[in-house]
């Protein structure tokens, strides 16, 4: 999964960009207490551990569309 695909997945699940500084983006969603930090690098592949940590923090780990990457 590429960073751009990860961001699209977050946005499809209701997360919106709330802050950006350089390549670091923060996403938020109503009902989720924490901001989700993504160090955005466009078309580069997201390391597996990083992807899993972001999806877990967002509450998306285990959903069908999050695991098919």
Query: Which CATH number characterizes residue 51's domain?
Result: 3.30.920.30
* Within-domain flag for 31: yes
* Within-domain flag for 18: yes
Q: Which domain holds residue 27?
A: 3-63
* Within-domain flag for 44: yes
**Residue 38 is inside which H or E element, if any?**
strand 36-39
* Within-domain flag for 68: no
* Within-domain flag for 69: no
* Within-domain flag for 55: yes
Coil, helix or strand at residue 18: strand
* Within-domain flag for 36: yes
pTM of the predicted model as reported, rounded to 2 decimal places = 0.82
| pLDDT single digits (tens) 50-65 | 999 999 999 998 655 4
pLDDT > 90 fraction of the chain, expressed in percent and rounded: 81
The total of structural domains in the chain comes to 1
């Amino acid at each position: 999964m590429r960073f751009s695909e990860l961001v699209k997945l977050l946005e499809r699940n209701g997360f919106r960009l709330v802050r950006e500084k350089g390549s670091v983006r923060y996403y938020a969603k109503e009902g989720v207490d924490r901001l989700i930090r993504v160090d955005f690098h466009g078309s580069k592949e997201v390391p597996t551990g990083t992807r899993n940590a972001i999806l877990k923090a967002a509450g998306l780990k285990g959903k069908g569309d999050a695991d098919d990457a």
